[in-house]
Amino acid sequence: MRFDFIPFFNPGENIPWIETTKMMREQTQLAEDANFETVWLTEHHFAHNGYLNAPPNPILMCADLAAHSKKIRVGQSPVVLPDWHPLRVAEDIAVLDHLTEGRVDFGASKGINERVCIQFNKDADRRDNKKSNDLFKECLDIILKAWTEDPFKYEGQFYKFPEPGWKETNRFFNPLDKKYHTEDGEYIGMYIHPKPFQKPHPPVWLMSNTPQTYNLAGMMGYNVIGMSNPLNKLNTCWEQYKSSALKHRNDKIDLGKNVGICVIIYVADSLEEARRDVEQSINLYYEFLSGSRPSGEWSRKSYLDEGSELTNNDLNNSWFDFLLDHDLIWVGDSKYIKEKINYYIESINLQHIVLLQQFPGIEYKKILKSMNLFSEKVIPYFK
């Protein structure tokens, strides 16, 4: 069983960033001591109300956490590729891979926040889902080719490298190398450096809950992390991954391999204490999430299995009770958490959990207590 985590970053309140940084460093050290595999850093921007008070640059934050640790891996959940220039991402992740001597997991996605994306790149506007998805896939393709090809060249819908017609004028490149220039100096191939420390490149992780993404990942040999979902939905996605890997790469893999789920988990000394600590936070957080998608993508019905209908209890319960009833959050004592993990192992061969701690308004010391209980009473049971 692999355990990863996303640090608590005080959602719901803008605090001085140095405090957020110190909190993340402390959690990462705790996780490293407990043999967590990877710390994942999310990417968010322009959070004036603090609800998405995560790093705007997860790659840079990964470098800091890696410098303050010794063995834990660092990853991005995700780098929102359409909002970045793909060659910059290729260079920055490769540099990070060298700085950490191969402790990098590369996490990528097209992102979900319409308000942010258009500020960086008009082609990334998520209101045009097909275009933004095409841009995401092209960016990922560029990054992987930049890591593995020399000379590098690319021609797609959105990008073309090198830019046609540019001729070398810098005399330090004389005599011109025919790999990169024509005889009259036109730039026809690029040298992207450094190449990653890990060969051929860091493991690629896509962040998504859609069967289409699992199909792409299985086809290309990527990994996938999705948010917690009903078992049938997870099983559909994981079976899609498994069948795609077999069909396109002749890779016969077991269900549950190379995929993981990100789950909001909170551990206390008792079920009652856990509920007291986070019930209000969960209600606030999911009310915020559901309101951020007026078209209903994150309404209660969206969390159910395909074909399922909301019951009266589903409609009348608080968000906390609704999510708890459907196993979408795991909140309780260590015995309860172990039972949930065992149930998912038996049902769909769960092998990889990412611990998520999104609790607006909670005291930071309670986050540390929950992580310590998880580390001391849950992880050893499965390791």
> What pLDDT digit, counting tens, does each position of 10-57 carry?
888 889 999 999 999 999 999 999 999 999 999 988 877 777 778 999
DSSP string, 12-40: TS---HHHHHHHHHHHHHHHHHTT--EEE
Specify the pLDDT at position 293: 55
Domains of the chain with bracketed CATH: 2-149+193-273+329-382 (3.20.20.30), 151-191 (no CATH)
Residue 82 three-state SS = helix
Residue 187 pLDDT exceeds 90: yes
Distance of alpha carbon 142 from the chain centroid? 19
DSSP string, 281-341: HHHHHHHHHHHT-TTSTTSGGGGSPTT----HHHHHS-HHHHHHHTTSEEEE-HHHHHHHH
Question: What percentage of the chain has pLDDT greater than the value 70?
Answer: 97
Instruction: Burial-class residue 162 by CB neighbours within 10 Å (0-12, 13-18, 19+).
Output: middle
This prediction's pTM: 0.95
Specify the pLDDT at position 19: 95
Specify the pLDDT at position 63: 98
Read off the pLDDT of residues 301-342 as tens digits, 9 standing for 90 and up.
889 988 899 999 999 999 999 999 999 999 999 999 999 999
